[in-house]
Structure 1
Amino acid sequence: MDQSLISTSATPKGVVATLLAALERSHALACAALLALSLLMFLPGFFGLPPMDRDEPRFAQASKQMLETRDFVAIRFQDEARNKKPVGIYWLQAASVALAEHLGFDAARTTISVYRIPSLIGASLVVLLTYWAGLAWLERRYALIAAALMAATVLLGVEARLAKTDAVLTATVVAAMGALARIWAARLTQERSLAKEPFILWLALAAGALIKGPITLMVVGLAALALSIKQGASKREYWRWLKPLADWRAIGLAILVVAPWFVAIAVETHGAFFSEAVGGDMLGKVAGAREAHGAPPGSYLVASLVTLWPIVPLAVIAVPIAWRWRREDEVAFLLAWLVPCWLVFEAVPTKLPHYVLPLYPAIALLVAFIAQRGSLRLDGSWKRIAAILLPLLPVAIALAIPYATLLYGDRTELVGAGVVGLGAVIAAAAAFLLMRARVAPAAAGAALAALFLTFGVYRLTIPHLQAFMLSPRLAATLATSPCRPNAIATAGFNEPSLVFLTRTDLNLTDGAAAARFMVGPGCRAAFVDIRQEGQFSQSLAALGIAPHPIGRVFGVNLNGGRHLDIGVYVNGG
């Protein structure tokens, strides 16, 4: 090993090498450091972000309704069956809320951060499992570098803060692929026992099936198919290397984990869950763009300039090297993890940035493997240009923050811009170190830059974008009502976050129906957008009632960018 890497000098290279040498002493110490890094990356803004429409509050509301109804089989959003994803994430979110309530947190059911805890745990597990998966071939320090880069990745940081499936799903994929990596590596020797790996892989497949259906199986299956073709090309033994997976104890345990809920939901919905989840949701996305989320092939590649930051410049440098080394076992495995599924996602018309997140650990590990070989060098002008991608994103965000907060916020946020700008300076220094082939210090600098970016955006900037926080502000205005509403309607603003923050039986209607709703018994409230207020006022006049306006909320709907002016009314009880 290069002795310069363990220098104890005060240079960045020496400091990072000293830190890596200390963390290499034990897996426990390495995992503790990675967990601490994960929390530093994921916690800023975790508790302050409002429910992010539309998917997050839909998941959270369905989990809340499980607790309200004590029905942990069917998945519903208000009165509508939500037959899209399996039950796993809802169980985890409901368990998180139930535990918070047991510990005395009375507002847990309407506190979105409680529902995000499974995602936070899932994202942290992605980091730890990336380290574990890397140990199949990498030295500890390079497995640490891969995991640290994964913790810094923009997309994983986003998903750690959203009460959705993707962080937990990615953890199941990395666990399964880490087990498959060891099975792939062990095929060349008969000395190594593979007692644990089949159980890890099958249980990861079972957990993935309960979280998001066939996605974990697709990633593992396509990788296994690609590797089997490679194996068979030289030895005509296409599937023999997978023989350790034919462990009926592991398979049986996985079936025991998965089967009960799938049988129960089939009985309760008379098969409707499978026809809607598979035929409607999954195959519908394959057949065409759904919910205005269509994009051409290549969109994920372009989006990765942001979503894969700060790994992306390292990945750009690593790709041609990986292609030259594609026949080597380690590189073949990581490419089998990455390429087939990436092509599938690019081919499917419906595209959302988080779909490719389970493939990002493969990129981090590929970068670390090439760095371990000493080949991650900027020996061409285009590679030096690629290094510019490292400071480019924080520079763009630092420049955008004052404008965005002036336009959509309660003040121009300069502190957040300054913090992100400092991250840009650190990223530029990391790019300079990368140009000098100092990969470990460059990776550490990239992670540090990501930490500044995260804090500046999530903790200092987003809380000031009040124009987008319509639902929390509407709920806060309603809390000033002179009476406590026992029924609420909304006309013109029907986002799921408003259901989550108010009442499960929130009446989604129009202005005229909202006026008739106010005639009902008890204290009633209505949110009415200005576009519906003409109907609302006319109907109120015809009914001879005059509810009390308690406030107005102005803002922008995050979905579609429409400006809204919403009045809040109560009938005074």
Structure 2
Amino acid sequence: MSDFVSGRPGEAWRRGLSGILDYAAESNRRAIWILLAFALIAFLPGYSKVPPIDRDEARFAQATKQMVASGEYVDIRFQNEVRYQKPVGIYWLQAAALKIADAVTTRDMQTRIYVYRIPSLIGAVGAVIATFWIALAFANRRVAILAAVMMASSILLGVEARLAKTDAMLLLTVLLCIGVLAHTYLEPPAEREKSAGLIWPIVFWAALAAGVLLKGPLILLFIGLPVVTLAIIDRSAGWLTRLRPLIGLPIFLLLVLPWFIAIIGRSGGTFLSDSVGRDLLAKVVSGQESHGAPPGYYVVLFFITFWPASILAGMATPWVWREKWETPVKFLLAWLVPAWIVFELVITKLPHYVLPLYPAIAILLAMAIDQQALSRQKWMEYGTFWWFAIPVLFFVGSLVLLLRYEGYPGWPAWPFLGAAMVFGFRAWWLYFVDGPERSMLRAAVTSVLLAIAVYWSVLPSLAMLFPSVAIAQAVRTAECSDPKVAAAGYREPSLVFLAGTDTLLTGAAGAADFLQDHKCRFAVIESSLDRTFARRAEAIGLRYTKVSQFKGYNLGSGGRITLTIYKSLGNL
């Protein structure tokens, strides 16, 4: 840390982004500290301000909340329903975060969604550092830093870092495994006799076990396909013996089997049928939950989800093709191409499925930049205009929101959107003068500034996107003790998470029955069910009053919604 008080960092700052890159590239420790700071700046804004997002995040958080409340750490439930689509790993990590948060503060942390996001934040930051570590196996430190910056500034990883789900932590486990494979595969023959230790094999098998506990056998696809591909190309897989499978497999089984045995014994086979049959295999043959898409979906989406680095992908492709048989590029393509093809063929498609493949692309792009091998085709280079166009579109969108939605305070986002347009303009306009490395760094700063504007200011200000927050606040401000909620026509898990595990998701008649004989009960009725609710209330002699009405947008179902909250006054 003495370098940070020696005056040299100040010189680096005065030289701009490339000076900071030069300074970071002088040592691994310095690079890691700077990447850590950059990743936190990229991921923390809005981390605690954005409410629970329906549906997956809220389901994971609610199941974890019930796990901690019940002390049941084997079975996974959402209210009274079993939740066996995914293994237990992420729930344990979120439960640990909740336990620690409860221990260090006197505040009630049960419904604070940012606590449940801690594992995702750790996974995303760890993935940035792991990308740096993996790239060191292929190239110099400058390339490794640039690849890690591409990951930290990518839109998709920024989203996953702020969601209490499995994908950021799965990415970290995949990268730990890939990193060990890369360093093992590329290890010079003269060094192989010296590397007889057990540290890297233990890291590999432990990370593989963690990945299975997070998302089942999916990690085996990301790790197995590169190994099989390289074995076919090289006609040899002898290097795998350095992973010590005779020692590693028992470690893997020791970590994985206890919970799987316990849950299979508890569920009587329901876990296997739900997780493998209804979740994994169903996604292969059908578009589960309306998420089907044709092949080519991920190629198109890549240019959005990996922005801003995706702008350079087309320019790097000719170099990658020329170098495809060189050992570093061959390894990266074996990591990237087979799994990408599999995901394009699978019917169910979601943007985050290919996230563990993005670091391979980042490293290839950084290597191409370092070797000054990007294509000089003008029509490709003009694509850098999108580094400027995207922040302009966000600024226009912010103005539209200001004009259309009363109460939206657009001004807190404007300084960051303005700065993003400046950096984006310089990234595009000076690309032909300063080259792709400096422009990519400016584009990365552009992306981070947009993230600050969107997650810290814009999203938290759009109350219409979060009906459950409005409902929970209305119930909490009611002057009664132990309020209970029933909802008809609105079944989002975020309501259960915020209003309480005993929230009743029912029909209009059931909501009216719920209000009987209790003056601290509330019914949330979707507008199309108002008449049914009123008829049932009249039939049972229910007295009730309207508390408030909410008009907004349901992110879970994707449509406008009007909800009315009624409070019981007892029976006639």
CA distance 1:41–1:489, change in 2 (3 Å) = same
Q: Does 1:356 align with 2:354?
A: yes
Query: How high is the TM-score relative to the length of structure 2?
Result: 0.94
CA distance, structure 2, for counterparts of residue 11 and residue 141 of structure 1: 15
CA distance, structure 1, for counterparts of residue 57 and residue 229 of structure 2: 35
CA distance 1:407–1:188, change in 2 (3 Å) = farther
**Which residue of the partner structure matches residue 475 of structure 1?**
472
Please tell me whether the aligned partners of residues 489 and 506 of structure 1 are also in contact (alpha carbons under 8 angstroms).
yes
CA distance, structure 1, for counterparts of residue 106 and residue 172 of structure 2: 28
CA distance, structure 2, for counterparts of residue 523 and residue 258 of structure 1: 46
CA distance, structure 2, for counterparts of residue 407 and residue 323 of structure 1: 48
**Which residue of the partner structure matches residue 520 of structure 2?**
523
- Counterpart pick for 2:280 among 279, 282, 287: 282
**Which residue of the partner structure matches residue 158 of structure 2?**
157
**Which residue of the partner structure matches residue 489 of structure 2?**
492
**Which residue of the partner structure matches residue 35 of structure 2?**
34
**Which residue of the partner structure matches residue 235 of structure 1?**
none
Please tell me whether the aligned partners of residues 488 and 524 of structure 2 are also in contact (alpha carbons under 8 angstroms).
yes
Equivalent residue runs for 1:431-446 within 5 Å: 431-436=428-433, 438-446=435-443
Please tell me whether the aligned partners of residues 332 and 364 of structure 2 are also in contact (alpha carbons under 8 angstroms).
yes
**Which residue of the partner structure matches residue 547 of structure 2?**
550
CA drift of 1:414 comes to: 4.7
Equivalent residue runs for 1:361-380 within 5 Å: 361-376=359-374, 378-380=375-377
CA drift of 1:173 comes to: 0.9
**Which residue of the partner structure matches residue 424 of structure 1?**
421
CA distance, structure 1, for counterparts of residue 50 and residue 106 of structure 2: 19
Give the residue type in structure 2 aligned to 1:220: I
- Counterpart pick for 2:386 among 359, 384, 389: 389
**Which residue of the partner structure matches residue 195 of structure 2?**
193
CA displacement 1:176-227 (0-9 Å, x = unmatched): 1111101110264445515332222211111100111122211110011111
**Which residue of the partner structure matches residue 219 of structure 1?**
222
- Report the secondary structure of 1:109's partner residue: coil
Please tell me whether the aligned partners of residues 97 and 114 of structure 1 are also in contact (alpha carbons under 8 angstroms).
yes
Deviation larger for 389-398 or 496-505: 389-398
Give the residue type in structure 1 aligned to 2:346: V
CA drift of 1:34 comes to: 0.9
- Report the secondary structure of 2:46's partner residue: coil
CA distance, structure 2, for counterparts of residue 417 and residue 358 of structure 1: 33
Unaligned runs of 5+ in 2: 1-7
CA distance, structure 2, for counterparts of residue 13 and residue 337 of structure 1: 39
- Report the secondary structure of 2:307's partner residue: coil
CA drift of 1:556 comes to: 1.5
Please tell me whether the aligned partners of residues 518 and 568 of structure 2 are also in contact (alpha carbons under 8 angstroms).
no
- RMSD (Å), alpha carbons: 2.2
Please tell me whether the aligned partners of residues 476 and 483 of structure 2 are also in contact (alpha carbons under 8 angstroms).
no
Please tell me whether the aligned partners of residues 402 and 414 of structure 1 are also in contact (alpha carbons under 8 angstroms).
no
CA displacement 1:355-397 (0-9 Å, x = unmatched): 1111111111111122222323x42212212322322322222
Q: Does 1:266 align with 2:264?
A: yes
Deviation larger for 155-164 or 245-254: 245-254
- Report the secondary structure of 1:379's partner residue: coil
CA distance 1:338–1:62, change in 2 (3 Å) = same
CA distance, structure 1, for counterparts of residue 324 and residue 222 of structure 2: 19
CA displacement 1:58-89 (0-9 Å, x = unmatched): 00000001011111011111111111001000
Please tell me whether the aligned partners of residues 89 and 164 of structure 1 are also in contact (alpha carbons under 8 angstroms).
yes
Give aligned-pair identity as a percent: 40
Query: How high is the TM-score relative to the length of structure 1?
Result: 0.93
Please tell me whether the aligned partners of residues 315 and 376 of structure 2 are also in contact (alpha carbons under 8 angstroms).
no
CA displacement 1:119-153 (0-9 Å, x = unmatched): 00110000010011111122112111111111101
Deviation larger for 442-451 or 159-168: 442-451
- Report the secondary structure of 2:481's partner residue: coil
**Which residue of the partner structure matches residue 503 of structure 1?**
500
Q: Does 1:79 align with 2:76?
A: no
CA displacement 1:511-547 (0-9 Å, x = unmatched): 1111111114462221112221211111111222212
Please tell me whether the aligned partners of residues 57 and 497 of structure 1 are also in contact (alpha carbons under 8 angstroms).
yes
CA distance 1:274–1:408, change in 2 (3 Å) = farther
CA distance 1:55–1:409, change in 2 (3 Å) = farther
CA drift of 1:409 comes to: 6.0
- Report the secondary structure of 1:460's partner residue: helix
CA distance, structure 1, for counterparts of residue 14 and residue 135 of structure 2: 22
CA drift of 1:275 comes to: 1.4
Give the residue type in structure 2 aligned to 1:322: V
Please tell me whether the aligned partners of residues 187 and 241 of structure 1 are also in contact (alpha carbons under 8 angstroms).
no
